Amino acid sequence: MSASKGKGWVGWLIVLLVLALVVTAVVVTITMKKHKGSSGLGPVPGPPGEITAKYSDALGVALQFFDVQKSGKLVDNKIKWRGDSALNDGKEEGLDLSKGMYDAGDHMKFNFPMAFTATVLSWSILEYGDQMDAVNQLDSARGSLKWITDYLINCHPKDDLLYIQVGDPDLDHKCWERPEEMTEKRPLKQVDAKTPGTEVAAETAAAMAAASMVFKSVDSTYSDSLLQHAQKLFTFADTHKGSYSVSIPDLQKYYNSTGYEDELLWAATWLYHATGDQSYLSYVTVQNGEDFADWGRPTWFSWDDKRAGTQVLLSRVNFFASKQASNAESKGLQMYKKTAEAVMCGLLPDSPTATDSRTDGGLIWIDQWNALQHPVAASFLAVVYSDYMLTSRTESFSCSGSSYTSEDLRNFAKSQADYILGDNPMKMSYLIGYGDKYPQQVHHRGASIPANANTGCKGFKWLESKDPNPNVAMGALVGGPFKNDSYIDLRNNSMQGEPTTYNSAIIVGLLSGLVTTSSIAQSLS
């Protein structure tokens, strides 16, 4: 009798233990469950971890395009088919505007997209400089940035005067020549109190404010100079409001601006990070946020529209440093973060609010001209936002009731980067010089003409040649595929085959974020 009772007790104990294990497993499963198999938050990364070779290699290639695009007297020239060029730029006004970078496959210096290039390159270094350093690319990135900011400083000789363009695009586009051989006139365009250009002045202020933080620990005197220029340019942009597309109608044919409010928010945000001055935070959250930011409506990040970039950058304040903000400022910051999340929701392919504007191969596709600009820029924002979440231990965000994690955002960014690097229906890299197969007839004057050719302005036989370019435009990110994932490799196909310097800035940022993992610095200053 007693033996039978003992066996029953043991049996019930076993049943209770099994039930406890089942309940525990269910609780753990519910707790750990993430959207569609995502593994959730990993440990907070410390110093840069294991290097992902393909992104490291691609980053080293991408940074070389800045050397390809350099104007002026070249120092430590790494591109053997390039030489000194445009040495007299600015001389008619007593200025040295020989530096800076050529815009695309031509020889124009358009400061609006060039300043954006500097801002994004600065942002990339500030967020991912340790990861660049881990693969020996930080010095190259900083050197390229300084080549632009040296030029931008010289473009701002007076508080209310900013030179914004070097060269005549109509003349430039009538020539097919190497930059080293240019002889045509290269006139200047400017904005001032009577001819306002708020967007280009504000973007230049953003570039200088961001760069001032990059050089703060490297060259404090240079950093201070950049910050002084940034503050004066912002005051100029905000005081003399007016679009440069209206002031100088000729510019509408090339980099036409759709408005300047986004650049004012963008510049003030960078100045807040650079100075800690609360008045800049109030400017973007309380004074102008509701009118300028278009809260709640996701947009695409580009040289013309900085709203999504500003939303992500201000989310950094929300994640790491919003305790000093007033109630009104905090409310504005929450609206920026909410809109940044809406941007992220639009990117994730299985989100309820995902954009359906994608190729069959999975690439976000917005415009047939320079098609890669938007997916690369969106992916850069996604990897930055992902790392803000990971470092701050933010578990997830919601898209119309579905939860997504930092890993989901990182996987999206990887999918776009991988497409660009060759995982696409064409099985071709769109980053020139990376991989075994990439376009051979890039729409780029210098790359298309042999270094020893003496063509003058009329080297159009090289434009029309069916042969591969004699020079490789290393690191060029071409315009990209059509909506059907196809690409036509013809030099005259500028729609798909022309690279831009600002595309290089955003691909450098994206690759820098993917090359390895590390924690995000909680302050940029």
Which of 246, 241, 285, 242 has its CA nearest to residue 265? 285
pLDDT of residue 18: 40
Neighbours of 78 (CB within 10 A): 12
In a domain, 426, yes or no: yes
pLDDT of residue 20: 45
pLDDT of residue 359: 97
Mean pLDDT of 330-352: 97
| Residue 183 lies in domain | 53-515
In a domain, 431, yes or no: yes
In a domain, 147, yes or no: yes
Find the helix packing angle between 373-392 and 501-514, rounded to 10°. 30
Write the CB contacts of 339 (distance below 8 Å, at least 6 apart in sequence).
Answer: 293, 294, 295, 296, 297, 298, 307, 311
In a domain, 21, yes or no: no
Q: What are the pLDDT digits (tens) for 88-142?
A: 999 999 999 999 999 999 999 999 999 999 999 999 999 999 999 999 999 999 9
Give the Å distances, CA to CA, from 464 to 68, 360, 442, 460.
22, 32, 12, 6
Q: How confident is the model at residue 40 (pLDDT cuts 50, 70, 90)?
A: low
Annotated catalytic sites, by residue? Answer: 443
Side chain identity, residue 280:
Y
In a domain, 20, yes or no: no
Instruction: Compute the radius of gyration of the chain from its Cα atoms.
Output: 25
In a domain, 23, yes or no: no
Neighbour-count burial for 21-47, b at 16+ CB within 10 Å, e otherwise:
eeeeeeeeeeeeebbeebeebeeeeee
Alpha helices in 254-372 (DSSP H): 261-275, 278-282, 289-292, 307-320, 327-347
Which of 343, 354, 348 has its CA nearest to residue 308? 343
What percent of the chain has a predicted confidence (pLDDT) above 70?
A: 91
Number of domains in the chain: 1
In a domain, 22, yes or no: no
Instruction: Output the pTM of the full model.
Output: 0.92
CATH number assigned to the domain comprising residue 136: 1.50.10.10
In a domain, 71, yes or no: yes
